[in-house]
Structure 1
Amino acid sequence: MTTTPTRATVPAERRLPGQRRLLTGLMANSVTLYAIYGAVPAVLLANLVADIAPESKSTSLGVISAVGAVGAMLANPISGALSDRTRSRYGRRAPWMAGGALLGGLSLIAVGVGNNLLWVAVAWTLAQIFLNGLQAPLTAVIPDRVPEERRGLFSSAAGLAQMLGAVVGTAVAAAFANALGLGFAVFGVLIIAGTAVFVLLNREPSTVEVRHEPFRWKDFLRGFWISPRAHPDFAWAFLGRFLLILGYYAVSSYQLYVLDDYIGLTRDQANDLMPLLSLAMLPGMIAMIVISGPWSDRVGRRKPFVIAASLGMALSLFLPLVLHSEASMFGYAILTGAAFGMYMAVDTALMTQVLPRPDDAAKDMGVLNIANALPQALAPAVAAAVIALLGGYRSLFATAIVLVVLGAVSILPIRGVR
Structure 2
Amino acid sequence: MTTAPIGSGMESTVPSGQPTDTAPATVADQAPTTGERRLLTGLMANSVALYAVYGAVPAVLLPNLVADIDPGSKSTSLGVISAVGAFGAMLANPVAGALSDRTHGRFGRRAPWMAGGALLGGLSLIALGLGNNLLWIGVAWALAQISLNGLQAPLTAVIPDRTPEHRRGVFSSAAGLAQMLGATLGAAAAAGFAHALGLGFAAFGVLVVIGTAVYLLLNKEPAAPAPQGEVFRWKAFLAGFWVSPRKHPDFGWAFLGRFLLVLGYYCVASYQLYILDDYLGLTRDHANHLVPLLSLSMLPGLIVMIVVSGPWSDRVGRRKPFVIASSLGMAGALALPLVLHSVASMFGYAVLSGCAFGMYMAVDTALMTQVLPRPDAAAKDMGVLNVANALPQALAPAVAAVVIGALGGYSALFVAGILLTVLGALSILPIRTVR
The question of a shared fold, defined as TM-score above 0.5 by the shorter chain, is answered with yes
| Aligned twin of 1:60 | 77
Does residue 8 (structure 1) correspond to residue 14 (structure 2)? The answer is: yes
1:309–1:342 contact (8 Å) kept in structure 2: yes
**Equivalents in 1 of 2:12, 2:86: separation in Å?**
31
Counterpart pick for 1:93 among 105, 110, 124:
110
CA RMSD across the alignment: 1.5
**Equivalents in 1 of 2:310, 2:331: separation in Å?**
21
**Equivalents in 2 of 1:136, 1:43: separation in Å?**
25
Aligned pairs for 1:250-399 (under 5 A) are: 250-399=267-416
Give, in angstroms, the shift of residue 2 of structure 1.
Answer: 3.0
**Equivalents in 2 of 1:309, 1:17: separation in Å?**
32
Give, in angstroms, the shift of residue 211 of structure 1.
Answer: 3.5
The DSSP-based 3-state class of the residue aligned with 1:18 is helix
| Aligned twin of 2:41 | 24
Does residue 215 (structure 1) correspond to residue 218 (structure 2)? The answer is: no
| Aligned twin of 2:431 | 414
1:156–1:345 contact (8 Å) kept in structure 2: yes
Counterpart pick for 1:35 among 52, 56, 59:
52
**Amino acid of the residue matched to residue 100 of structure 2?**
S
Does residue 149 (structure 1) correspond to residue 166 (structure 2)? The answer is: yes
**Equivalents in 2 of 1:138, 1:8: separation in Å?**
20
Residues 171-229 of structure 1 deviation map (CA, whole Å, 9 limit, x = unaligned) = 10000000000000000001112111211210000013443621100000000010000
**Amino acid of the residue matched to residue 5 of structure 2?**
T
1:85–1:212 contact (8 Å) kept in structure 2: no
**Equivalents in 2 of 1:98, 1:132: separation in Å?**
12
* Matched positions, count: 415
Does residue 112 (structure 1) correspond to residue 129 (structure 2)? The answer is: yes
Does residue 190 (structure 1) correspond to residue 207 (structure 2)? The answer is: yes
**Amino acid of the residue matched to residue 203 of structure 1?**
K
**Amino acid of the residue matched to residue 400 of structure 2?**
A
TM-score, normalised relative to structure 2? 0.94
Give, in angstroms, the shift of residue 16 of structure 1.
Answer: 3.1
**Amino acid of the residue matched to residue 409 of structure 1?**
L
1:3–1:210 contact (8 Å) kept in structure 2: no
Counterpart pick for 1:249 among 263, 266, 288:
266
**Equivalents in 2 of 1:252, 1:156: separation in Å?**
22
The DSSP-based 3-state class of the residue aligned with 1:215 is coil
1:6–1:358 contact (8 Å) kept in structure 2: no
**Equivalents in 2 of 1:7, 1:58: separation in Å?**
49
Residues 383-404 of structure 1 deviation map (CA, whole Å, 9 limit, x = unaligned) = 1110001010000000000000
**Equivalents in 2 of 1:32, 1:45: separation in Å?**
18
In structure 2, the gaps of 5 or more residues are 17-26
In structure 1, the gaps of 5 or more residues are none
| Aligned twin of 2:92 | 75
**Amino acid of the residue matched to residue 320 of structure 1?**
P
**Equivalents in 1 of 2:226, 2:426: separation in Å?**
46
TM-score, normalised relative to structure 1? 0.97
2:6–2:222 contact (8 Å) kept in structure 1: no
Change (3 A) 1:212 1:76: farther
Give, in angstroms, the shift of residue 291 of structure 1.
Answer: 0.4
